[in-house]
Amino acid sequence: MKRSAINRAYRDAVACFSLHHWALPPHPRWDITDFGLGAFDRCGLTLVNLATEPEYCEKLMFAREGQTTPCHAHARKKEDIICRSGELTLRLWPGKPGPGLPPRLNLSVDGAAAEVGSGEPLLLAAGSRVTLPPGVWHMFVATGGDCIIGEVSTANDDVADNFFLDPMVGRFPGIEEDEPAAVRLVGE
């Protein structure tokens, strides 16, 4: 991923957070990724680590309309995905997507028990949340304009607890230095 694209994503996220009155802490830890696919505008995510503690973490994320986070799961992490502005469409599976999965999942949506179709779209409007226990495969895309997404989860291990469906996907991008860095990333 070119440093110029990382810098642009950083500036776009800061502008969107500011527009929606999200104040960031003095020294947030930034994470901007194209998941190693080289197509950030189609498949990428801008994340800000707000809290990283031994027992929990909190992130604020930014996705442009149409920007997808690839299908993945976590073995240990339980997370709430919260749409803070815009609309977010998720697809969820009770196990690795493929034949033989149960047709439905039982999850918590907005704090209430809900049955969600395996692989079917789940739309989160601004303010809505879904709780994903470990092992639930998920992907999401900003579908209602640019989207601010919150995540509150148990302790996060981006190196050892991200399992992607597509073996070509990687968590941290390689960086091509084509201009000075506006911000350093967690993976550097």
Domain residue extents for the chain: 3-164
The H or E element that residue 9 is part of is: helix 3-19
Higher pLDDT, 188 or 73: 73
Evaluate if residue 58 carries a pLDDT over 90. Answer: yes
What is the separation, in whole angstroms, between the first and last Cα of the chain? 13
Question: What is the sign of the dihedral through the CA atoms of 126, 145, 37 and 175?
Answer: negative
Give CA 112 to chain center in angstroms: 22
The H or E element that residue 187 is part of is: none
Q: What is the mean pLDDT of residues 92-104?
A: 96
Question: What is the sign of the dihedral through the CA atoms of 117, 118, 121 and 125?
Answer: positive
Residue type, 167: P
**Could you tell me the CATH superfamily of domain 3-164?**
Jelly Rolls (2.60.120.10)
Q: What is the pTM of this model?
A: 0.95
Beta bridge partners, 11, equal none
Answer yes or no: are the C-beta atoms of 7 and 182 closer than 8 Å. Answer: yes
pLDDT in tens, 17-37: 999 999 999 989 999 999 999
Percent of the chain past pLDDT 90, that is, above it, reads 90
Evaluate if residue 170 carries a pLDDT over 90. Answer: no
Q: Give me 123's structure tokens.
A: 């739309």
φ, ψ of residue 34 in degrees (nearest 5): -105, 15
φ, ψ of residue 67 in degrees (nearest 5): -80, 130
Count of CB atoms within 10 A of residue 170's CB? 16
